[in-house]
Structure 1
Amino acid sequence: MSIQNPARDTTHDSRTHLKAFPRRVYRFRALGMGLGILPISVVLTELGVSWPAWTWAVLSCLVWPHIAYQLSSRSGDPFRAELRNLSLDSAFAGSLVPLMHFNLLPSVVLLTMASADKINTGVRGLLVRSLPGMLIGAVVMGALTGFAMQPATSMPVLLATLPIMVIHTLAVSLGSYQLIRKVQSQNARLDELSRVDSLTGLESRGHWQEQAGLLLSSYCTGKSAASMLLIDADHFKQVNDRHGHASGDDVLRAIGVAITANLPPGSHAGRIGGDEFAVALPIPADAAMEVANGILARVATLEFPQVAALRCSVSIGIAEPVAEDPSLRTWLEAADHALYRAKAAGRNRIASRDTTRVHPHADA
């Protein structure tokens, strides 16, 4: 399992997002402006305007979206280039309102769509920053048209406005939904990463402590038995020194698998230190002794094809919660004391408060 540099990953993700930003905006710009030409065309037809007005409408709705995408995608800073394009979007939208002589429905829909696109980018303050451009566009075009006012909306204009109202709204909603799903997926992934040790696949220290605390609470209320195994890889520093840290990682992964293979239902195994593991078991100490023996035996049989001479063993301490002080800290300390006894007796052993059990292959 390779471990990547988080800083590099973050930088890579950021660059990918910035490059994708113009493409994401382009889809909504092309869709909204492309649909916007429908009511604009009907209004201009009803007004009987000359070709310059038609040219500006076609340029704004059908040509500009593609020019904007080319400008941003070819820029050395696509993100900033797209922010400029978005401000120009507002200017174009503002100019189209007086071009239509302030026809009420398409004007409101067009300005709302332009504003929604700014909000949909997720860029803080972009909508406010785009308002001056929208106002300038409206004032300049208004001056050219003499601020002619014909706000009444006919039935043909209303019908031509429906596609942009429905389709663009659904497209923005779908985009927001996809973004929410992506965030939810990332949050779930982050939650998983916070609960799982990436090297061994066991529970992380924090998540294990939480689960062990729940088991301890169940024990204190008489709902469940409870035992803890504290497991330490024997002579792990020597493994790293002699065979390298990659082999050390192989040993830790293999021990994690050996632990998992011997756990009864309801158990929680976690990596709580570099080469130290803890297991919270919903069973009494005598049954936990059998689980520990299974782990000890399985670890003794581990082989590592990359390093034929490499062998490993573990020492295990067992403890039930301390009746005088049923806290997780005291429980851990009791298991740690038992682990110390196992290591002091020669390692590759299981020890509890009362007994020290030697695996048959301890001296192998």
Structure 2
Amino acid sequence: MPHHDGEQNGRGLSFAKRIYLPRTIGLSVGSVCVAVALYPLPWMHWIWAMLVMHAWVWPHLAYQRARRSSNPYKAELQNMLGDSFAGGIWVALMGFSALPSVAILAMMAMQNIAANGLRLLWQGLLANLLGAVLGFVLFTPQIQLASTPEEIYACLPLLVIYPAFIGWMGYKVALKLSEHKHVLSRLSRTDSLTGLINHGTWKDLLQVEFTRSQTLNRACCVALIDIDHFKTINDRYGHIVGDSVLKALSQALRDNIRASDLAGRYGGDELCVILPNTDLDLAVGILERLRQIVENQVDALLPELRISLSIGVAPYEQHIVDAASWLNEADKALYGAKSTGRNRVVSAPCTRADFQGLALGV
């Protein structure tokens, strides 16, 4: 529960920070509209002091109130309803002058709906109405609906600057959401230990490459890579060392394949690679270089630990009926690499019986 509360407060503080700047700009620019509308009216000095306080001091007090609250999100929503209520009072004090009143109410409605949707919009409009009624009852202003030229010109900055600013803020939020979506999408496709494509996503990509190879009749190879005697490594050195071996192999794989190749973790200690636009000879060359690099790597902390790979690779061929059959060809080749001494690259087409015969010296 404390963790949940902390996370909720973090979101609330982020919300308060997001509202702080629009409130500061909106009230400062909006105060010009109100001041020009109030100027011809016989109001007392304390009204002007209240306007200055609301426009230039309240934004900072509101932010501090939300920041220090045990529930910043709820406190900020209350602040926004307070803004709407005060806006209704200023509309009444201006004698309901049409353009300044509409401009101020519209800008507040824009901020409310951008912050919390229709619910806050309707709550804000109700707060506007209550503020306007209270302002009219308390101060009984002279109603003058017609707006003067001075009021029209005073409202122009608010009508231009504030919507543009809200649009810019919305654009920034959209960019951040897009970035988060991209990160989540990448994480959902990635194996957490190795950083390679995870099993499910790699199988989907294999289907895509199979369809492309079948449709375009182009060369493509798929390979399965197995760490020799990986269980022995885990038993002797522990799973932490085993994990570090998998990470090191994954990095070596990334460093020694091309940008167009698709490397993934097939499961356990098996990795997998799709090599698009690659014939069998080229694929074997790439994988043999990887095998040699891994074989020659020496860990300074564990110099006695040597890693070798068994690799099976299968090219796309027209008789292969689906992606599963293609992968099965690579699996047969991997079996052949294991059964004939390991630490080698073996290519399909082949059968398990072929390799059983070789292993027996037939």
Q: What CA distance in whole angstroms lies between the structure 2 residues aligned with 1:123 and 1:305?
A: 59
For residues 200-211 of structure 1, the aligned pairs below 5 Å read 200-211=194-205
One-letter identity of the residue aligned with 1:236: F
Structure 2 counterpart of 1:291, which letter?
I
Residue of 338, 343, 349 corresponding to 2:333: 338
- Give the match for residue 328 of structure 1: 323
Which range moved further: 318-327 or 295-304? 318-327
Rounded Cα–Cα distance in structure 1 between residues aligned with 2:198 and 2:4: 22
Structure 2 Cα separation of the partners of residues 302 and 24 of structure 1: 51
Query: 2: distance between equivalents of 1:47 and 1:61?
Result: 19
State the match for 2:106 in structure 1.
112
Q: C-alpha distance in 2, partners of 1:138/1:297?
A: 81
Contact 2:84 2:125 in 1 (8 A): yes
Match of 1:362 in 2: none
- SS of the aligned residue for 1:259 comes to helix
Q: In the alignment, does 2:300 pair up with 1:291?
A: no
Is 85-94 or 178-187 further displaced after alignment? 178-187
2:305 to 301, 310, 313: 310
In 1, Cα distance between the equivalents of 2:289 and 2:7? 44
Output the CA distance in 2 between the equivalents of 1:106 and 1:295. 72
The 5 A counterparts of 1:11-90 are 15-90=9-84
The one-letter code matched in structure 2 to 1:259 is L
- For 1:322 and 1:12, the matched residues in 2 are separated by 57
Task: Give the Cα separation in 1 of the matches to 2:26 and 2:33.
Answer: 12
- Could you tell me the TM-score, scaled by structure 1's length? 0.86
Higher mean Cα deviation, 199-208 or 138-147? 199-208
Confirm or deny that 1:217 pairs with 2:211: yes
Task: Give CA deviations for 1:47-98 in whole Å, capped at 9, x if unaligned.
Answer: 2222343344334323322221221111121111111111111100111111
Comparing 142-151 with 173-182, greater Cα deviation is found at 142-151
Whole-angstrom distance in 2 between the partners of 1:294 and 1:328: 26
| Partner in structure 1 of residue 144 of structure 2 | 150
Q: CA RMSD in A?
A: 2.6
One-letter code aligned to 1:298: I
Q: Does 1:121 align with 2:137?
A: no
Q: CA deviation at 1:109?
A: 0.8
Shift of the alpha carbon at 1:177? 1.4
User: Which has the higher mean CA deviation after the structures are superposed, 145-154 or 343-352?
Assistant: 343-352
**1:10 Cα deviation from its structure 2 partner:** 9.4
Q: Please tell me the residue identity of whatever aligns with 2:40.
A: E
Q: Give, in whole Å, the separation in 2 of the partners of 1:248 and 1:93.
A: 65
Q: CA deviation at 1:235?
A: 2.1
Structure 2 Cα separation of the partners of residues 261 and 73 of structure 1: 47
Distance 1:318 1:183 in 2: 41
The aligned counterpart of 1:246 is 240
SS of structure 2 residue aligned to 1:200: coil
Specify every segment of 5 or more residues in structure 2 that has no aligned partner in the other structure, as ranges.
Answer: 356-362
Which residue identity is paired with 2:271?
Answer: F
Asked if the contact 2:9–2:72 (Cα under 8 Å) also holds between the matched residues in 1, the reply is no
Distance 1:11 1:198, change over 3 A: farther
Q: Is the CA contact (8 Å cut-off) linking 1:103 and 1:151 kept in structure 2?
A: yes
Aligned twin of 1:280: 274
CA contact (8 A) 1:322 1:330 kept: no
The alignment partner of 1:272 has SS state of: strand
- Quote the offset at 1:35 in angstroms: 1.4
The match for 1:131 is: 125
In 2, the alpha carbon distance for the partners of 1:237 and 1:132 equals 69
**Residue 123 of structure 1: how far off its partner (Å):** 5.5
Give ranges in structure 1 of 5+ residues lacking alignment: 1-7, 357-364
For 2:28 and 2:340, the matched residues in 1 are separated by: 80
Given that 2:37 and 2:94 are in contact with CA atoms closer than 8 Å, whether structure 1 keeps it comes out as: yes
2:360 corresponding residue in structure 1: none
Instruction: Tell me the CA shift for residue 141 of structure 1.
Output: 0.6
Aligned residue pairs: how many?
349
